């Protein structure tokens, strides 16, 4: 399985070569990998900002514990979850499903009502936790796709979400920064690049019942 070899190759890159940029064709493949991610009910209640503007990355660096990956990477992916789920989000999905799968809207009303009735029982805090979890699934696909393309990446939770929301004007858009990933190419000076990967043994990690 080439996938396993590629996953062994990848690591959380600590130092990027700022002179190397991900080409547009590869960036489009990463977008598609994220687009194809699984999500609860298929709703994809998040948006992904891809930041390549150098000045904007500089503004975000202090809100990211001054980690150098933010400014040295080729692109910064900011996964933003919906802060609140409203009926229109469900309606938009049902409309899209009807169009793509050629199903009459009337035949999807039961599914639509089921989703609305379920989600509307969640408090706003629960909705935010739920939608934020979905972004991690998408980020996982991004990391795997990067490994396949031999593009380096570093998933990061070390940032101030409130400051990101302010700098990127996310609150006004009903979004909140959930998790970020820096993408690019490792620097030859990254001392962690050749360190052995530390993972639990298979027998410790899994139990068949």
Q: What domain range is 105 assigned to?
A: 86-121
Same-domain pairing of 102 and 144:
no
Residue-wise pLDDT tens for the chain (209 aa)?
Answer: 799 999 999 999 999 999 999 999 999 999 999 999 999 999 999 999 999 999 999 999 999 999 999 999 999 999 999 999 999 999 999 999 999 999 999 999 999 999 999 999 999 999 999 999 999 999 999 999 999 999 999 999 999 999 999 999 999 999 999 999 999 999 999 999 999 999 999 999 999 99
Same-domain pairing of 139 and 165:
yes
- Among 74, 105, 121, the domain-final residue is 121
Same-domain pairing of 91 and 135:
no
Same-domain pairing of 19 and 71:
yes
User: Residue 141's closest CA among 15, 44, 16?
Assistant: 44
- Among 62, 95, 121, the domain-final residue is 121
- CATH at residue 194: 3.40.109.10
Same-domain pairing of 116 and 169:
no
Same-domain pairing of 115 and 198:
no
Same-domain pairing of 46 and 67:
yes
Same-domain pairing of 142 and 167:
yes
Same-domain pairing of 32 and 77:
yes
Q: What is the pLDDT of residue 40?
A: 98
Neighbours of 130 (CB within 10 A): 16
Same-domain pairing of 180 and 199:
yes
* Predicted TM-score (pTM) above 0.95: yes
- Among 96, 121, 146, the domain-final residue is 121
Same-domain pairing of 164 and 74:
yes
User: Residue 71's closest CA among 144, 196, 148, 180?
Assistant: 180
Same-domain pairing of 108 and 79:
no
Q: What is the pLDDT of residue 95?
A: 98
Number of domains composing the chain = 2
């Amino acid at each position: 399985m080439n996938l396993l070899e590629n996953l062994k190759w990848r690591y959380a890159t600590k130092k990027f070569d700022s002179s190397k940029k991900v080409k547009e064709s590869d960036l489009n493949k990463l977008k598609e990998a994220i687009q194809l991610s699984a999500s609860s009910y298929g709703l994809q209640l998040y948006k992904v900002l891809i930041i390549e503007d150098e000045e904007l990355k500089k503004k975000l660096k202090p809100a990211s514990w001054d980690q150098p990956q933010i400014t040295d990477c080729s692109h910064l992916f900011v996964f933003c979850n919906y802060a609140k789920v409203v009926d229109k989000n469900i309606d938009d999905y049902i409309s899209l499903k009807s169009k793509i799968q050629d199903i009459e809207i009337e035949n999807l009303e039961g599914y639509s009502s089921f989703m609305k009735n379920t989600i509307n029982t969640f408090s706003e805090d629960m909705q935010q936790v739920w939608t934020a979890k979905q972004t991690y699934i998408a980020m996982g696909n991004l990391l795997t796709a990067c490994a396949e393309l031999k593009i380096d990446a570093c998933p990061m939770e070390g940032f101030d979400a409130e400051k990101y929301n302010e700098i990127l004007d996310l609150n006004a858009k009903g979004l909140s920064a959930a998790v970020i990933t820096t993408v690019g190419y490792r620097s030859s000076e990254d001392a962690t690049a050749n360190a052995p990967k530390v993972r639990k043994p298979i027998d410790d990690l899994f139990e068949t019942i």
